A and B are shown apart, each in its own frame.
Chain A
Amino acid sequence: MIANYGYKDGSGEFFISIDTDRCNSCGECVPACPPKVLEMATDEYDPLSEKTVATVREEERKKIKYTCAPCKPASGRGALPCMAACAPGAIAHSW
Protein backbone atom coordinates (compact mmCIF):
# COMPACT_ATOMS: atom_id res chain seq x y z
CA MET A 1 0.00 0.00 0.00
CA ILE A 2 1.15 3.52 -0.70
CA ALA A 3 0.37 5.80 2.21
CA ASN A 4 0.47 9.50 1.39
CA TYR A 5 1.01 11.67 4.44
CA GLY A 6 0.84 15.41 4.13
CA TYR A 7 -1.33 18.01 2.49
CA LYS A 8 -1.80 20.39 -0.35
CA ASP A 9 -2.26 24.11 0.14
CA GLY A 10 -1.93 27.32 -1.80
CA SER A 11 1.85 27.00 -1.91
CA GLY A 12 2.04 23.47 -3.28
CA GLU A 13 1.75 19.77 -2.57
CA PHE A 14 3.64 18.34 0.36
CA PHE A 15 3.41 14.60 0.69
CA ILE A 16 5.67 11.91 2.07
CA SER A 17 4.70 8.64 0.43
CA ILE A 18 5.59 5.37 2.09
CA ASP A 19 5.23 2.15 0.15
CA THR A 20 4.35 -0.30 2.93
CA ASP A 21 4.85 -3.31 0.64
CA ARG A 22 8.46 -2.29 0.08
CA CYS A 23 9.10 -1.26 3.69
CA ASN A 24 11.04 -4.10 5.33
CA SER A 25 10.40 -2.91 8.92
CA CYS A 26 14.12 -2.27 9.54
CA GLY A 27 13.49 1.09 11.21
CA GLU A 28 16.68 2.71 9.86
CA CYS A 29 14.76 5.78 8.71
CA VAL A 30 13.57 6.71 12.20
CA PRO A 31 16.96 7.78 13.67
CA ALA A 32 18.07 9.07 10.25
CA CYS A 33 15.44 11.82 10.22
CA PRO A 34 16.84 14.87 12.07
CA PRO A 35 13.47 16.35 13.17
CA LYS A 36 12.09 12.88 14.05
CA VAL A 37 9.15 12.93 11.68
CA LEU A 38 9.03 9.17 11.24
CA GLU A 39 8.14 6.34 13.56
CA MET A 40 7.57 2.60 13.31
CA ALA A 41 4.04 1.39 13.99
CA THR A 42 1.68 -1.38 12.98
CA ASP A 43 0.06 -0.54 9.66
CA GLU A 44 -3.06 1.36 10.70
CA TYR A 45 -4.51 1.20 7.20
CA ASP A 46 -4.36 -2.58 7.10
CA PRO A 47 -5.81 -3.54 10.50
CA LEU A 48 -5.60 -7.26 9.87
CA SER A 49 -1.85 -7.25 9.28
CA GLU A 50 0.69 -7.42 12.09
CA LYS A 51 3.54 -5.90 10.10
CA THR A 52 5.36 -2.90 11.54
CA VAL A 53 5.99 -0.19 9.00
CA ALA A 54 7.39 3.33 8.85
CA THR A 55 4.77 6.08 9.20
CA VAL A 56 4.78 9.84 9.53
CA ARG A 57 3.91 10.79 13.08
CA GLU A 58 0.36 12.01 13.42
CA GLU A 59 1.26 15.42 14.83
CA GLU A 60 3.67 16.10 11.94
CA ARG A 61 1.29 15.34 9.08
CA LYS A 62 -0.08 18.83 8.65
CA LYS A 63 3.22 20.69 8.88
CA ILE A 64 5.79 18.61 7.02
CA LYS A 65 6.54 21.45 4.63
CA TYR A 66 8.13 23.26 7.54
CA THR A 67 9.49 20.29 9.47
CA CYS A 68 11.24 18.88 6.41
CA ALA A 69 12.54 22.25 5.22
CA PRO A 70 16.00 22.06 6.90
CA CYS A 71 16.81 18.95 4.81
CA LYS A 72 15.79 20.74 1.62
CA PRO A 73 18.03 23.76 1.07
CA ALA A 74 17.46 25.75 -2.11
CA SER A 75 20.89 24.87 -3.47
CA GLY A 76 23.44 22.14 -2.89
CA ARG A 77 20.76 19.71 -1.92
CA GLY A 78 21.99 16.17 -1.42
CA ALA A 79 20.02 13.00 -0.86
CA LEU A 80 17.37 13.31 1.85
CA PRO A 81 18.49 11.44 4.99
CA CYS A 82 15.26 9.44 5.25
CA MET A 83 15.39 8.31 1.63
CA ALA A 84 19.11 7.57 1.84
CA ALA A 85 18.57 5.43 4.94
CA CYS A 86 15.84 3.39 3.31
CA ALA A 87 17.49 0.41 1.61
CA PRO A 88 14.34 -0.87 -0.14
CA GLY A 89 13.50 2.63 -1.42
CA ALA A 90 10.07 2.81 0.16
CA ILE A 91 10.11 6.53 0.97
CA ALA A 92 9.39 9.32 -1.51
CA HIS A 93 8.77 13.05 -1.21
CA SER A 94 6.45 14.93 -3.56
CA TRP A 95 8.30 18.23 -3.35
Chain B
Amino acid sequence: MAEMQEFWRWTEYNWRHPEMDWRQGKRIASGIDVGSVSSQALVLVDGQIFAFSNLRTGSNSPDSAHKAINGALKDTGMELNNIKYTVGTGYGRVNVPFANRAITEIACHARGANFMAGPKVRTVLDMGGQDCKAIHCDERGKVSNFLMNDKCAAGTGRGMEVMADLLSIPIKDIGDLSYQVDQEPQPVSSTCVVFAKSEALGLMRSGWSKNMVLAAYCSAMAHRVSLLLGRIGVEDQFFITGGIAKNPGVVKRLEKELGIQAVKSQYDSQIAGALGAALFADTLLQKGA
Protein backbone atom coordinates (compact mmCIF):
# COMPACT_ATOMS: atom_id res chain seq x y z
CA MET B 1 0.00 0.00 0.00
CA ALA B 2 1.28 3.44 -0.83
CA GLU B 3 2.25 5.51 2.14
CA MET B 4 -0.41 7.96 3.20
CA GLN B 5 0.57 11.52 2.46
CA GLU B 6 -0.21 13.94 5.25
CA PHE B 7 -1.44 16.98 3.42
CA TRP B 8 -2.07 18.97 6.56
CA ARG B 9 1.51 18.64 7.78
CA TRP B 10 3.54 21.83 7.81
CA THR B 11 7.29 22.03 8.24
CA GLU B 12 8.75 21.93 11.71
CA TYR B 13 12.10 23.63 12.09
CA ASN B 14 14.71 25.20 14.36
CA TRP B 15 16.56 28.43 13.84
CA ARG B 16 19.59 29.90 15.55
CA HIS B 17 21.46 33.13 15.16
CA PRO B 18 24.48 32.35 12.98
CA GLU B 19 27.02 34.53 14.80
CA MET B 20 25.82 35.29 18.30
CA ASP B 21 27.84 33.82 21.17
CA TRP B 22 25.43 33.29 24.03
CA ARG B 23 28.26 32.86 26.54
CA GLN B 24 28.97 36.59 26.26
CA GLY B 25 25.36 37.39 27.11
CA LYS B 26 24.26 38.65 30.50
CA ARG B 27 20.53 38.01 30.38
CA ILE B 28 19.22 34.74 29.00
CA ALA B 29 15.44 34.50 28.93
CA SER B 30 13.06 32.21 27.10
CA GLY B 31 9.43 32.05 26.10
CA ILE B 32 7.49 28.86 25.46
CA ASP B 33 4.23 29.08 23.56
CA VAL B 34 2.35 25.79 23.79
CA GLY B 35 -0.57 26.24 21.44
CA SER B 36 -3.37 23.90 20.52
CA VAL B 37 -1.72 22.98 17.20
CA SER B 38 1.87 24.25 17.31
CA SER B 39 4.46 24.91 20.02
CA GLN B 40 7.32 27.37 19.88
CA ALA B 41 10.27 27.96 22.15
CA LEU B 42 12.36 31.09 21.78
CA VAL B 43 15.54 32.14 23.58
CA LEU B 44 16.55 35.77 23.96
CA VAL B 45 20.11 36.73 24.85
CA ASP B 46 20.34 40.34 26.06
CA GLY B 47 17.04 41.08 24.32
CA GLN B 48 18.14 39.68 20.94
CA ILE B 49 16.67 36.56 19.37
CA PHE B 50 19.26 33.81 19.76
CA ALA B 51 17.36 30.67 18.77
CA PHE B 52 13.86 29.31 18.36
CA SER B 53 11.99 26.20 17.34
CA ASN B 54 8.57 25.69 15.82
CA LEU B 55 7.03 22.26 16.29
CA ARG B 56 3.68 20.51 16.42
CA THR B 57 2.00 20.19 19.78
CA GLY B 58 1.30 16.58 20.55
CA SER B 59 -1.28 15.29 22.92
CA ASN B 60 0.92 16.05 25.91
CA SER B 61 1.63 19.71 26.72
CA PRO B 62 4.58 19.20 29.13
CA ASP B 63 6.25 16.94 26.54
CA SER B 64 5.68 19.51 23.80
CA ALA B 65 7.23 22.21 25.96
CA HIS B 66 10.32 20.06 26.53
CA LYS B 67 10.54 19.12 22.86
CA ALA B 68 10.27 22.75 21.83
CA ILE B 69 13.00 24.01 24.15
CA ASN B 70 15.26 21.07 23.32
CA GLY B 71 14.74 21.87 19.64
CA ALA B 72 15.68 25.50 20.15
CA LEU B 73 18.78 24.63 22.20
CA LYS B 74 19.94 21.86 19.88
CA ASP B 75 23.61 22.23 18.88
CA THR B 76 23.92 25.58 20.66
CA GLY B 77 25.78 24.28 23.72
CA MET B 78 23.21 26.03 25.89
CA GLU B 79 21.32 24.01 28.45
CA LEU B 80 18.01 24.52 30.17
CA ASN B 81 19.73 25.62 33.40
CA ASN B 82 21.56 28.41 31.55
CA ILE B 83 18.20 30.08 31.02
CA LYS B 84 17.52 32.42 33.90
CA TYR B 85 13.82 33.04 33.41
CA THR B 86 11.13 31.29 31.40
CA VAL B 87 7.61 32.45 30.67
CA GLY B 88 5.01 29.99 29.42
CA THR B 89 2.12 31.13 27.27
CA GLY B 90 -0.59 29.81 24.97
CA TYR B 91 -3.30 27.26 25.43
CA GLY B 92 -1.03 24.94 27.45
CA ARG B 93 0.75 27.66 29.40
CA VAL B 94 0.05 26.19 32.80
CA ASN B 95 1.56 22.90 31.61
CA VAL B 96 5.10 24.16 31.00
CA PRO B 97 6.96 22.42 33.84
CA PHE B 98 10.10 24.58 33.80
CA ALA B 99 8.35 27.96 33.43
CA ASN B 100 8.79 30.56 36.17
CA ARG B 101 5.52 32.18 35.24
CA ALA B 102 2.54 31.81 32.90
CA ILE B 103 1.27 34.83 30.99
CA THR B 104 -1.81 34.90 28.78
CA GLU B 105 -1.11 34.68 25.05
CA ILE B 106 -3.05 37.86 24.35
CA ALA B 107 -0.48 39.94 26.23
CA CYS B 108 2.36 37.95 24.64
CA HIS B 109 1.13 38.31 21.07
CA ALA B 110 0.76 42.07 21.45
CA ARG B 111 4.28 42.30 22.87
CA GLY B 112 5.68 40.00 20.18
CA ALA B 113 3.96 41.91 17.38
CA ASN B 114 5.38 45.14 18.78
CA PHE B 115 8.89 43.68 18.43
CA MET B 116 8.31 42.03 15.04
CA ALA B 117 6.52 44.79 13.21
CA GLY B 118 7.49 47.91 15.15
CA PRO B 119 5.90 50.24 17.67
CA LYS B 120 3.44 51.70 15.16
CA VAL B 121 1.34 48.53 15.23
CA ARG B 122 -2.03 49.20 16.88
CA THR B 123 -4.14 46.26 15.76
CA VAL B 124 -2.94 42.69 16.09
CA LEU B 125 -4.88 39.74 14.77
CA ASP B 126 -3.69 36.39 16.01
CA MET B 127 -4.97 33.63 13.76
CA GLY B 128 -4.00 30.52 15.59
CA GLY B 129 -4.72 26.84 15.48
CA GLN B 130 -7.85 26.87 17.55
CA ASP B 131 -8.97 30.43 18.00
CA CYS B 132 -8.61 33.95 16.68
CA LYS B 133 -7.92 36.99 18.79
CA ALA B 134 -8.27 40.61 17.86
CA ILE B 135 -6.03 42.83 19.99
CA HIS B 136 -5.61 46.57 20.15
CA CYS B 137 -2.31 47.71 21.68
CA ASP B 138 -0.29 50.84 22.38
CA GLU B 139 3.20 51.84 21.23
CA ARG B 140 4.85 49.67 23.89
CA GLY B 141 2.89 46.58 22.94
CA LYS B 142 0.60 46.85 25.95
CA VAL B 143 -2.92 45.54 25.36
CA SER B 144 -5.60 48.24 25.37
CA ASN B 145 -8.58 46.23 24.10
CA PHE B 146 -8.99 42.64 23.05
CA LEU B 147 -11.49 40.11 21.90
CA MET B 148 -11.38 36.35 21.49
CA ASN B 149 -13.37 34.62 18.80
CA ASP B 150 -16.53 32.63 19.22
CA LYS B 151 -16.81 29.47 21.17
CA CYS B 152 -15.62 27.04 18.55
CA ALA B 153 -12.60 26.46 16.32
CA ALA B 154 -14.44 27.44 13.13
CA GLY B 155 -12.27 29.13 10.57
CA THR B 156 -8.90 28.62 12.23
CA GLY B 157 -5.67 26.84 11.50
CA ARG B 158 -7.15 23.51 12.47
CA GLY B 159 -9.97 24.06 10.00
CA MET B 160 -7.42 24.69 7.25
CA GLU B 161 -5.67 21.44 8.13
CA VAL B 162 -8.95 19.56 7.83
CA MET B 163 -9.62 21.19 4.42
CA ALA B 164 -6.13 20.33 3.19
CA ASP B 165 -6.67 16.74 4.19
CA LEU B 166 -10.14 16.52 2.67
CA LEU B 167 -9.06 17.95 -0.69
CA SER B 168 -5.61 16.28 -0.72
CA ILE B 169 -3.80 19.57 -1.13
CA PRO B 170 -0.58 20.38 0.77
CA ILE B 171 -1.48 23.02 3.33
CA LYS B 172 1.18 25.49 2.21
CA ASP B 173 -0.29 25.56 -1.33
CA ILE B 174 -3.84 26.41 -0.27
CA GLY B 175 -3.40 30.19 -0.42
CA ASP B 176 -1.95 30.31 -3.93
CA LEU B 177 -4.31 27.70 -5.37
CA SER B 178 -7.31 29.58 -4.01
CA TYR B 179 -6.56 32.34 -6.54
CA GLN B 180 -6.41 29.99 -9.50
CA VAL B 181 -10.11 30.35 -10.23
CA ASP B 182 -11.86 32.02 -13.13
CA GLN B 183 -14.22 33.85 -10.88
CA GLU B 184 -14.23 34.44 -7.12
CA PRO B 185 -17.00 32.19 -5.74
CA GLN B 186 -19.41 33.05 -2.96
CA PRO B 187 -17.96 32.26 0.48
CA VAL B 188 -19.15 28.98 1.98
CA SER B 189 -22.03 29.67 4.33
CA SER B 190 -20.34 28.17 7.35
CA THR B 191 -16.80 28.18 8.69
CA CYS B 192 -17.68 25.43 11.15
CA VAL B 193 -15.14 22.74 10.33
CA VAL B 194 -17.63 19.90 10.21
CA PHE B 195 -20.32 21.79 8.26
CA ALA B 196 -17.72 23.24 5.88
CA LYS B 197 -16.43 19.78 5.19
CA SER B 198 -19.82 18.47 4.12
CA GLU B 199 -20.57 21.69 2.25
CA ALA B 200 -17.26 21.34 0.37
CA LEU B 201 -18.12 17.80 -0.65
CA GLY B 202 -21.54 18.93 -1.83
CA LEU B 203 -20.07 21.75 -3.89
CA MET B 204 -17.56 19.46 -5.54
CA ARG B 205 -20.30 17.02 -6.40
CA SER B 206 -22.16 19.84 -8.11
CA GLY B 207 -19.12 20.54 -10.26
CA TRP B 208 -16.95 22.99 -8.33
CA SER B 209 -13.20 22.58 -8.68
CA LYS B 210 -10.99 22.10 -5.62
CA ASN B 211 -9.56 25.57 -6.13
CA MET B 212 -13.06 27.08 -6.09
CA VAL B 213 -13.80 25.33 -2.81
CA LEU B 214 -10.55 26.65 -1.35
CA ALA B 215 -11.38 30.16 -2.52
CA ALA B 216 -14.83 29.93 -0.97
CA TYR B 217 -13.43 28.63 2.32
CA CYS B 218 -10.63 31.21 2.50
CA SER B 219 -13.03 34.07 1.86
CA ALA B 220 -15.48 32.73 4.46
CA MET B 221 -12.65 32.69 6.97
CA ALA B 222 -11.52 36.19 6.02
CA HIS B 223 -15.07 37.47 6.40
CA ARG B 224 -15.44 35.85 9.78
CA VAL B 225 -12.32 37.45 11.26
CA SER B 226 -13.19 40.81 9.73
CA LEU B 227 -16.39 40.74 11.81
CA LEU B 228 -14.30 39.96 14.88
CA LEU B 229 -12.01 42.89 14.13
CA GLY B 230 -15.03 45.10 13.55
CA ARG B 231 -15.88 44.94 17.23
CA ILE B 232 -12.61 46.42 18.42
CA GLY B 233 -12.03 48.52 15.30
CA VAL B 234 -9.05 48.31 12.97
CA GLU B 235 -6.47 51.01 13.43
CA ASP B 236 -3.33 51.43 11.36
CA GLN B 237 -0.90 49.72 11.51
CA PHE B 238 -2.33 46.26 11.30
CA PHE B 239 -0.35 43.06 11.86
CA ILE B 240 -1.29 39.38 11.67
CA THR B 241 0.38 36.71 13.79
CA GLY B 242 -0.10 32.95 13.92
CA GLY B 243 0.02 30.27 11.26
CA ILE B 244 -2.80 31.58 9.06
CA ALA B 245 -0.74 34.75 8.46
CA LYS B 246 1.24 32.55 6.05
CA ASN B 247 -1.84 31.80 3.96
CA PRO B 248 -2.23 34.55 1.33
CA GLY B 249 -5.63 33.12 0.42
CA VAL B 250 -6.99 34.42 3.72
CA VAL B 251 -4.67 37.38 4.28
CA LYS B 252 -5.21 39.10 0.92
CA ARG B 253 -8.97 38.61 1.07
CA LEU B 254 -9.03 40.01 4.58
CA GLU B 255 -6.94 43.02 3.52
CA LYS B 256 -9.39 43.64 0.70
CA GLU B 257 -12.39 43.37 2.98
CA LEU B 258 -10.90 45.69 5.61
CA GLY B 259 -9.37 48.06 3.07
CA ILE B 260 -6.07 48.06 4.94
CA GLN B 261 -2.74 46.35 4.26
CA ALA B 262 -1.16 44.17 6.90
CA VAL B 263 2.41 45.05 7.88
CA LYS B 264 4.98 42.54 6.64
CA SER B 265 7.68 41.34 8.97
CA GLN B 266 10.98 39.55 8.45
CA TYR B 267 10.09 37.17 11.27
CA ASP B 268 8.03 33.99 11.17
CA SER B 269 4.48 34.95 12.17
CA GLN B 270 4.15 31.79 14.26
CA ILE B 271 6.80 32.83 16.81
CA ALA B 272 4.96 35.97 17.98
CA GLY B 273 3.59 34.36 21.16
CA ALA B 274 6.88 32.77 22.22
CA LEU B 275 8.75 35.97 21.37
CA GLY B 276 6.35 38.05 23.47
CA ALA B 277 6.70 35.59 26.36
CA ALA B 278 10.50 35.75 26.10
CA LEU B 279 10.37 39.57 26.04
CA PHE B 280 8.29 39.51 29.23
CA ALA B 281 10.80 37.06 30.74
CA ASP B 282 13.62 39.43 29.78
CA THR B 283 11.81 42.41 31.33
CA LEU B 284 11.09 40.45 34.50
CA LEU B 285 14.79 39.48 34.70
CA GLN B 286 15.79 43.13 34.43
CA LYS B 287 13.33 43.98 37.18
CA GLY B 288 15.17 41.44 39.32
CA ALA B 289 12.50 38.76 39.37
Contact = CB atoms under 8 A, between A and B. Distances in A.
Partners in one complex: yes
Interface of A: 1-4, 7-9, 13, 15, 44-48, 62
Contacts of A62: 151
B103 A44 contact: yes
- Residue in B147, B149, B232 whose Cβ sees the most chain A Cβ within 10 Å: B147
30 contacts: A1-B143, A1-B144, A1-B145, A1-B146, A2-B144, A2-B146, A3-B146, A4-B145, A4-B148, A4-B232, A7-B151, A8-B149, A8-B150, A9-B150, A9-B151, A44-B103, A44-B107, A45-B104, A45-B106, A45-B107, A45-B143, A46-B107, A47-B101, A47-B103, A47-B107, A47-B280, A48-B280, A48-B283, A48-B287, A62-B151
Interface string B164-175: 000000000000
Contacts of B145: 1-4
Contacts of B120: none
Nearest to B283: A48
B142 interface: yes
Nearest to B276: A47
Interface in B161-205: none
Contacts of B283: 48
Contacts of A44: 103-104, 107
A62 B151 CA distance: 6
A4 B107 contact: no
Contacts of B144: 1-2
A3 B103 CA distance: 15
Contacts of B106: 45
A47 B148 CA distance: 18
Interface of B: 101, 103-104, 106-107, 142-151, 227-228, 231-232, 280, 283-284, 287
B2 to A, nearest CB: 42
Nearest to B106: A45
A48 B143 CA distance: 12
A62 B153 CA distance: 13
Q: Which 3 A-B pairs have the closest CB atoms?
A: A2-B145, A47-B103, A4-B147
A15 B231 CA distance: 11
Contacts of A9: 150-151
A47 B89 CA distance: 12
Nearest to A62: B151
Contacts of B103: 44, 47
A4 B136 CA distance: 12
- Residue in B144, B228, B287 whose Cβ sees the most chain A Cβ within 10 Å: B144
B256 to A, nearest CB: 23
A45 B150 contact: no
Contacts of B287: 48
B182 to A, nearest CB: 33
A7 B104 contact: no
A73 B110 CA distance: 38
A28 B283 CA distance: 33
A45 B146 contact: yes
B44 to A, nearest CB: 16
A73 to B, nearest CB: 25
Contacts of A8: 149-150, 227-228
A93 to B, nearest CB: 14
Nearest to B277: A47
A7 B107 contact: no
B37 to A, nearest CB: 20
A45 B231 CA distance: 18
